[in-house]
Structure 1
Amino acid sequence: MINQDTFRFIDLFAGIGGLRIGFEKAGGKCVFTSEWNRFSQQTYQANFNDNHEIAGDITAINEADIPNHDVLLAGFPCQPFSIAGVSKKKSLGRAHGFADETQGTLFFDVVRILRHHQPKAFLLENVKNLLSHDKGNTFRVIMHALDELGYEVDHKVIDAGLWVPQHRERIFIVGFRRDHPTQFSLDDVRLPEGERPKLSDILHPEDGSEPIEEPYTTGPMAKVSPKYTLTPRLWQYLQDYKAKHRAAGNGFGYGLCEPTDVARTLSARYYKDGSEILIAQSNGIPRRLTPRECARIMGFDMPNAKDQWKIVVSDTQAYRQFGNAVAAPVATAIANAMAPWIKNTVSIRPIRSVVA
């Protein structure tokens, strides 16, 4: 099915393609994509040249109609397992986790596709809280299902903050089919060396050294558009909200950042008020990140990149997409660690026996 130059993979619950970026850089070719959100589909299509259409609802797709592949990628929906998602569903009296029929069982679509195609390997991504959801029972169900399919599985929580200036912990689950033995470990993923990135690495410089990109920047110095500065009313609300919770002994509230800081996790709710990552300004009222800065803080591109990530949707949709995405440099690092085993370019190392 493969040679030493390339391998075939499928991209499920693809979002805007964060996982795909990494596996294409590692030599893979995407042969099937599934993503139900039409706005994410627009962004995905604008940034990838495909000879296949994006499939919608994976539950409506027969696994036999999916092309053969070597690797399955899936950032399966995390809402039923995330802390925020669980809290919201509990407050509404709704089920969560695998009891949530709308999203919690989507993991089993991954299972049925793995069972049918038996690809050489897979990579799954989810929120860190997946480990502790339902006192660990959810994760045990997932690991048991993957084990029964005949895969040797490893998992690890990795913080994208090693690559990009935000604290973003996600769990990655890798499996290789047992009849394709490897010595792969997520501990083999190569981590960046040197100083950790800071927000100054991704913020608009606003000094004329960056081309103007409307509607994000404007004027001769490419200053950030005033539209991203909070209204005085919203800024006052956020300050009052934080003060109220501080008085109650809680840590809730906005995150105000300087260029030398590392941000909190960018979330899909960022479009609402931007409160988790606010950039301090000299006038005393902070601003949101622009969507271009969100692309950078997720590692989809960097300042003055030759080929910038195409943002073809509204700010609201762009914030949602980047907040839900997989940080591209993390996917690339994992793909680079997996690729030699997928391509058969490395061999099992003999285990040396220790002689007393």
Structure 2
Amino acid sequence: RAVYRENFGRRGEQELEPLGDVESVDASDIPEHELLTAGFPCQPFTECNPHRRGLDCEGGQLAFEVVRILRETQPAAALLENVPGLLTMHGGADFGKIVGALRDAGYAVGWQFISAEHFVPQKRLRVYIVCIRRDLHKPRARAESGSFGRPLSKDGDFGGEDVVDWLDTSSDLQCKWRARSVQDVLEPPGPALEAYTLTEAQWEKVASFEGTPASLEKRLVQVDGPARTLRSSYKQDSKTLSQFVAQPGSRPRFFTPRECARLMGFPDSFQPGRGAVGFPRSSNASSEEGNFYHQIGNAVVPAVIEAFGARILAALRL
């Protein structure tokens, strides 16, 4: 909440405050709006979680809180985001239930898989669900019934109803201002980066887990290309998943919080809080950084949302 307050806490003279747990939010407390953007927990659906339970757990059920807000507020459109595993959980049954609930709430529903690497130097395949209120939906030439439970879809694949003109991954989706490679987001070498260097014990654990030099080499980011997907457990899962930045004459280091924000496409005006490079380090900086890594790993890439937002706006103007 502190990060939200610091970055989005004011609109003109008005102070904005998060309403709290979505399960306790009354729809009447939500200001009138035309577009609802939302994400619900991905952990119940991601294939990275060996214990995923989909809708059979409390986190998965939060998807229906989004449906509740939509049903009660009836904005013109909605844009939701989650991991590709959402479509295959329980053979596609979970996704079918969510789509059915969205349609019952009065919306035409379609979805598309897009990797963020078209916009930022990070491979991040996600499914984006677009909902247009049924009375505003203008059917297009093609309408696909949807294939729940099919194998993980590829970048650019789409399904459901043609609620918008879907993004064309064969064309140039890249933002003119985007960072083209990991090198573009890295901080210059200096003493401030020492705090992010892996300890000898940490690096030994990674090397032991990988087993071979060739496998270990893959844990170092190639700075002339995109990074792996940033996860909410970055730094916490250093033995198995985290990717590192090579440092000449030293052990590799973690991405800094600021670099992670850049990998997601957040501008440098975005405030990640204390503890990050360029910000004062406090006595509990490790805890603050851990919270930020968790938040940024759960975030969406703003440029992708902007691209879908433009398509939604165009569809509503037809």
TM-score range, shorter chain: 0.7 to 0.9
Contact 1:75–1:124 at 8 Å: present in 2 too? yes
Specify the alignment match of 1:97 in structure 2. Answer: 54
Within the alignment, does 1:335 sit opposite 2:312 as a pair? no
- Flag structure 2 segments of 5+ consecutive residues without an equivalent: 141-162, 275-287
| Identity %, equivalent residues | 36
Within the alignment, does 1:153 sit opposite 2:117 as a pair? no
- Tell me: CA distance 1:319–1:258, structure 2 relative to 1, closer, same or farther (3 Å): same
Alignment RMSD? 2.5
How many angstroms does 1:107 deviate by? Answer: 1.1
Q: Post-superposition, which runs of at least 4 consecutive aligned residues in structure 1 deviate over 6 A? A: 193-196, 251-254
TM-score where L is the length of structure 1:
0.70
Q: Letter of the aligned partner of 2:248 in structure 1? A: S
Specify the alignment match of 1:43 in structure 2. Answer: 3
- Flag structure 1 segments of 5+ consecutive residues without an equivalent: 1-40, 90-95, 207-221, 348-356
Specify the alignment match of 2:284 in structure 1. Answer: none
Which one has more relative contact order, counting CA pairs under 8 Å at least 6 apart? Answer: 1
Q: Map Cα deviations across residues 131-162 of structure 1 (whole Å, 9 max, x no partner).
A: 11111111111111112222111101110011
Within the alignment, does 1:272 sit opposite 2:241 as a pair? no
SS at match of 1:226: helix
Partner Cα distance (1:257, 1:283) in 2: 17
* Pick aligned residue for 1:288 from 254, 277, 298: 254
SS at match of 1:123: strand
Q: Letter of the aligned partner of 2:24 in structure 1? A: A
Partner Cα distance (1:188, 1:259) in 2: 27
Partner Cα distance (2:302, 2:263) in 1: 10
Contact 2:3–2:272 at 8 Å: present in 1 too? yes
Partner Cα distance (2:34, 2:101) in 1: 19
Partner Cα distance (1:312, 1:165) in 2: 23
Specify the alignment match of 2:294 in structure 1. Answer: 320
Output aligned runs, 1:255-266, within 5 Å.
Answer: 255-266=219-230
Partner Cα distance (2:166, 2:28) in 1: 34
How many angstroms does 1:279 deviate by? Answer: 0.6
SS at match of 2:113: strand
SS at match of 1:256: coil
Q: Letter of the aligned partner of 2:311 in structure 1? A: A
Contact 2:47–2:85 at 8 Å: present in 1 too? yes
Specify the alignment match of 2:193 in structure 1. Answer: 225
Q: Map Cα deviations across residues 97-117 of structure 1 (whole Å, 9 max, x no partner).
A: 1110x2111111111111112
Q: Letter of the aligned partner of 1:331 in structure 2? A: I
Contact 1:254–1:276 at 8 Å: present in 2 too? no
Specify the alignment match of 1:28 in structure 2. Answer: none
Report the count of equivalent residues.
272
Q: Letter of the aligned partner of 1:47 in structure 2? A: N
Output aligned runs, 1:157-196, within 5 Å.
Answer: 157-182=113-138, 184-185=163-164, 187-188=166-167, 191-192=173-174
Within the alignment, does 1:142 sit opposite 2:98 as a pair? yes
Within the alignment, does 1:78 sit opposite 2:47 as a pair? no
* Pick aligned residue for 1:203 from 186, 189, 199: 186
Contact 2:235–2:242 at 8 Å: present in 1 too? no
TM-score where L is the length of structure 2:
0.78
Specify the alignment match of 2:152 in structure 1. Answer: none
